[in-house]
Chains A and B, each alone.
Chain A
C-alpha cells in the first residue's frame, strides 16, 4: 500500500521517514496546532513551494536540465487564475477557466522552448531560459490592462474560500471553521496529490529514461532514446505542475503580482530548496521547501530574540539584528552546501549505508 502510493520510492532512511511523516502530519494539523493568520499563511506557502520545488527537481535533479524559466510557469498559472477571477467574477467556473488557460499556455511555451533549444548545451539552454523568463516578466509588468502591471491584481475568491464563509456553526479546538480553512485544505490536498504524481513520474519507465539522460545523454541516444523528445516532455510536465502551483498560490492569497510569482528571487529560492534538500530525490525538494519557507518567515523573529538577549554586547547585537536575516540565510546555505554536498536527503541516506 505505502509502496504503491510512494511508487516504490521509499525514504530509505529512518530519519528521512520521520521528517516526512512530521511534515505531512504537521501540515495537516497546522491550522489547529498553530492557529492564527500568519502561521496558516506560512503553512499554505510551504505546500505551494513544495510542489514548485519538486517540479523543478524533475528538471534539475532527474533530467539534468538547468532552467531559469521555472518561475515564469509558476507566474503563468497564478496569473491565469488571477485574471480569470478578475474578469469573470468570483466563481468556480472562473477558477477552472484560469487553471486550464494557465496550463495550456505553460505547456505550449515549455514545448516551444524545449523543441527549439533543448538540443543545445546545458549552459546555453540556461541562458535562453533566463532571457525568455526576463522578457516574460517585463511583458507582464508592461501590460497593466491585463495583469495590473507592477501592482498586480487584487481579486475576490469564490465565496466558499472567503473568511466570511462559515463551514459549520461554532468552532473546532477553538478554531473557526471558515472559508480560509476550506482554502487551506484545498491547497494541502492538491499539493499532496501533485507531489505523489511527480513521485510516480520519476519512478516510471519514463522517469528511468530521464535519469539515463542525466547520466549520459550520448549513450541514451546510442541505445535508442531520442533525448530531445524526453527532455521536452519532462519540461512540459514540470511547467504544468509549476503552473498548478501558481494557480494554488493565486487561490490562496487573493492577490497576484510580479514580486510574488515572477521575480528572480523566487527562482533563486527554489534552486536553493532543491540543492539544500538534495537533487534528484523528490523528498529533498520537500525538505528544502519546508526549511527555506520557514527560515524566510521566522528567521527574522528568531534573530529578534537573539538581538534582545545580546542587547548589551556591542558587536554581537548588531550582528544578530533582525535586518541581517538574509546574511544568516546565506551563511546557512554555504554551510549546507559545504557539509552536505549531496543535500540533506543524500546525507541521510548515506549515513545508513
Chain B
C-alpha cells in the first residue's frame, strides 16, 4: 500500500503541495484532479522521488521511503510515466523499452556479455511494445516517432518496469482522439488484474469518470475532496476549485 502522510514541499514561501495525507489501495484506480497549478505533478514527483519533500512522509507497504532516491523507489515498484514525453531520444523504440526491462533483470552491471545475446529481454520488450501497438515501429528512433506514438512508448516503458504502483501523468495529453482508446484500454487492463495500485492525473473528465474508483481533488496544494467519482464530481468544492464555479472541463466541451 502506498501512503503519504502530511506530505509538503515548499519553494520559498509557496507550498506547492501542502500537508497531503492520502492512502492508495491495491486494486483501485485513483484519479487526482484539480486545476492547473494545483500541485498534481508536484505530488507525483514527491511520491516517485524526483523532488525531495520539505516535510511529511511517503510510505510504501509500511516502509518509510521518503529519503530514498528515485532509482531505488523505481526498483521498489513505483512506476511512473511522465506528462512531458521523457524518452531516450536517439535510441530505438525497442531499446527504450528494453532498458526498462533490463532494470528488473539486474543485468545493468553486466559488462562483458553482449546486449543482443539476452534474447529474453528483447522478447519481453517486444511484448510491451506490441501492447501499445508499436511493434512495427520497434526499430524507429524514438525522436522520429509522431507525438502520439511517443506517448504510447512512454506507457510501454512504464509497463516494462512491471511496477506494483502505476503513476500516469496525463497519459493521453496531446493524443489524437482515435489514439486515446489504446492507452485507456491498457489502463483498464491493468486495473482488471485487481492487484495493482493505479494513480492517474487526467484533465479529461469523461476519462476520469469512466475509469476511476475514487477521485482525489487537489487545490492550491491542499487535498480538498476525496471520494467516489459521482459524489466528488458534483460536489460544490470541485465546482469552486475548477474555474471558480463553472463545470469541470470536459473533453468534449
- Residues of A near any B CB (own CB < 8 A): 4, 7-8, 200-201, 203-209, 211-212, 215-216, 218-227, 230, 233, 237
B234 within 8 A of A: no
Q: Find out whether the CB atom of B86 lies under 8 angstroms from the CB atom of A225.
A: no
CB distance from A349 to the nearest CB of B (A): 13
Interface string of B69-107 (1 = CB under 8 A from A): 111101100001010001111110001001110110001
Chain B contacts for A4, CB-based, 8 A: 114
Chain B residue nearest in CB terms to A216: B88
B118 within 8 A of A: yes
A225-B71, A225-B103 as given contacts; A230 in contact with B108, CB under 8 Å: yes
Chain B residue nearest in CB terms to A209: B108
Chain B interface secondary structure, helix, strand, loop or mixed?
A: helix
**Measured CA separation A220–B91 after assembly (Å):** 13
Chain B residue nearest in CB terms to A7: B114
Chain A contacts for B72, CB-based, 8 A: 224, 226
- The 10 A-B pairs with the shortest beta carbon distances in the complex, nearest first, are A224-B74, A215-B88, A224-B103, A205-B107, A205-B110, A206-B111, A224-B75, A8-B116, A226-B71, A221-B70
Interface string of B41-57 (1 = CB under 8 A from A): 00000001010000000
Within 8 A of A (CB), among B157-197: 157, 161
**Measured CA separation A224–B89 after assembly (Å):** 18
Chain A contacts for B36, CB-based, 8 A: none
Chain B residue nearest in CB terms to A8: B116
- Residues of B near any A CB (own CB < 8 A): 48, 50, 69-72, 74-75, 80, 82, 86-91, 95, 98-100, 102-103, 107-118, 121, 157, 161
Chain A contacts for B118, CB-based, 8 A: 205
CB < 8 Å: which of B88, B108, B116, B121 contacts A219?
Answer: B88
Q: Find out whether the CB atom of A212 lies under 8 angstroms from the CB atom of B87.
A: no
CB distance from A92 to the nearest CB of B (A): 27
CB < 8 Å: which of B69, B82, B99, B117 contacts A209?
Answer: B99
**Measured CA separation A215–B48 after assembly (Å):** 21
Chain B contacts for A209, CB-based, 8 A: 99, 102, 108
**Measured CA separation A207–B109 after assembly (Å):** 9
Chain A residue nearest in CB terms to B143: A215
Chain B contacts for A218, CB-based, 8 A: 50, 86
CB distance from B119 to the nearest CB of A (A): 12
Chain A residue nearest in CB terms to B160: A223
Task: Give 25 A-B contacts (CB < 8 Å), ordered by A residue.
Answer: A7-B114, A8-B114, A8-B116, A8-B117, A200-B112, A203-B115, A204-B115, A205-B108, A206-B111, A209-B108, A211-B88, A215-B91, A216-B86, A218-B50, A219-B82, A219-B86, A219-B87, A220-B88, A222-B74, A223-B157, A225-B71, A225-B103, A226-B72, A227-B71, A230-B108
CB distance from B162 to the nearest CB of A (A): 11
Chain B contacts for A204, CB-based, 8 A: 110-115
Chain B contacts for A237, CB-based, 8 A: 111
Q: Find out whether the CB atom of B115 lies under 8 angstroms from the CB atom of A224.
A: no
Instruction: Give the residue among A203, A218, A224 with the most B Cβ atoms within 10 A.
Output: A224
CB distance from A343 to the nearest CB of B (A): 14
Instruction: Give the residue among B70, B74, B80 with the most A Cβ atoms within 10 A.
Output: B70
Q: Find out whether the CB atom of A223 lies under 8 angstroms from the CB atom of B103.
A: yes
Chain A residue nearest in CB terms to B91: A215
Chain B contacts for A208, CB-based, 8 A: 95, 98-99, 102, 115
Chain B residue nearest in CB terms to A229: B109
**Measured CA separation A12–B74 after assembly (Å):** 36
Chain A contacts for B99, CB-based, 8 A: 208-209, 212, 220, 223
**Measured CA separation A226–B118 after assembly (Å):** 22
Instruction: Give the residue among B71, B102, B108 with the most A Cβ atoms within 10 A.
Output: B108
Chain A contacts for B111, CB-based, 8 A: 200-201, 204, 206-207, 237
**Measured CA separation A206–B107 after assembly (Å):** 7
**Measured CA separation A87–B103 after assembly (Å):** 48
**Measured CA separation A277–B98 after assembly (Å):** 28
Chain B residue nearest in CB terms to A206: B111
Chain A residue nearest in CB terms to B102: A205
Known: A206-B111, A212-B91; 11 extra A-B contacts, CB below 8 A, are A201-B112, A204-B110, A207-B115, A208-B115, A222-B70, A222-B86, A223-B103, A224-B161, A226-B72, A230-B108, A237-B111
CB distance from A119 to the nearest CB of B (A): 11
Chain A contacts for B70, CB-based, 8 A: 221-222
Chain A contacts for B90, CB-based, 8 A: 215
CB < 8 Å: which of A201, A215, A224 contacts B71?
Answer: A224
CB distance from B42 to the nearest CB of A (A): 15
Chain A contacts for B80, CB-based, 8 A: 222
Chain A contacts for B109, CB-based, 8 A: 205-206, 233
**Measured CA separation A220–B103 after assembly (Å):** 10
A216-B88, A222-B86, A224-B161 as given contacts; A8 in contact with B115, CB under 8 Å: yes
**Measured CA separation A219–B117 after assembly (Å):** 25
Chain B residue nearest in CB terms to A230: B108
Chain B contacts for A207, CB-based, 8 A: 111, 115
Chain A contacts for B117, CB-based, 8 A: 8
